[in-house]
Amino acid sequence: MTNIDAFKDVPTTTLADLLGREQVMDTGIRPLWDSPRIAGPAYTVKCAPGDNLMLHAAIYRADPGSVIVVESGDTDHALAGGNVCAVAQRRGIVGFVVDGVIRDLAEVRDAGFPVFSRGVIPIPGAKKKLGTLGQPARVGGVLIHAGDIVVADEEGVVVTPSAKASGTLSGARAKLAKEADETLDAWEANHRARIEKALSEQGFTD
């Protein structure tokens, strides 16, 4: 069984190198404050545009250690505010990754609750429409299934499919170990050789 906590030690850049573009969220999903790297299994949520009912329901249903990820398709209404984030934090939720916006940023930042989203807006969403919980959701352009491993830091958000978690973690550890043993001089020599080879193959001459 994969040690999900071990993903906290893996930068998103390393995961992106291993998994490729399709598992990396677009640049609009950013940390709202200088939060630490987070990692955990996805608890997936889909909210109707302009409505936040399902996210508010999710904070009482997601297991401790989960990252709640939300598809909303709306940036005109906040999915959550300070109290919702505070309750999620108290219940052991690692953080929110939302394809939408929140509000009460000062409260969220002061509480130290990690939120990755498209920004903030002061107007709240309604609580009138059902969406889904635990079903596939598309967040930041990435299709996420419940239980996929979400890692988010200042570089962005990367999703590791649960079926690839063990192999990806092993590959990441090996890559990081190799990089740690490589001096800058060695890296520069290898890098220059690759660049010159690529230029030569394209017919470039000085």
Please give the model's pTM, rounded to 2 decimal places.
Answer: 0.93
Q: Which helix (H) or strand (E) holds 84?
A: helix 82-90
> Is it the case that residue 1 has pLDDT exceeding 70?
no
Give me the phi and psi of 2, to 5 degrees please.
-70, 135
Q: How many CB atoms lie within 10 A of CB 187?
A: 11
For the chain, what percent of residues have pLDDT higher than 90?
96
> Is it the case that residue 160 has pLDDT exceeding 90?
yes
**pLDDT at site 205:** 86
Pairing mode of beta strands 38-46, 67-71: parallel
**pLDDT at site 158:** 98
List Cβ neighbours of 136 (8 Å cut-off, separation of 6 or more).
44, 143, 144, 145, 146
**pLDDT at site 73:** 83
| 5-53 per-position pLDDT tens digit | 899 999 999 999 999 999 999 999 999 999 999 999 999 999 999 999 9
Q: Which two tokens stand for residue 206?
A: 């000085």
| 79-119 per-position pLDDT tens digit | 999 999 999 999 999 999 999 999 999 999 999 999 999 99
How far, in Å, CA of 206 to CA of 196, rounded?
11
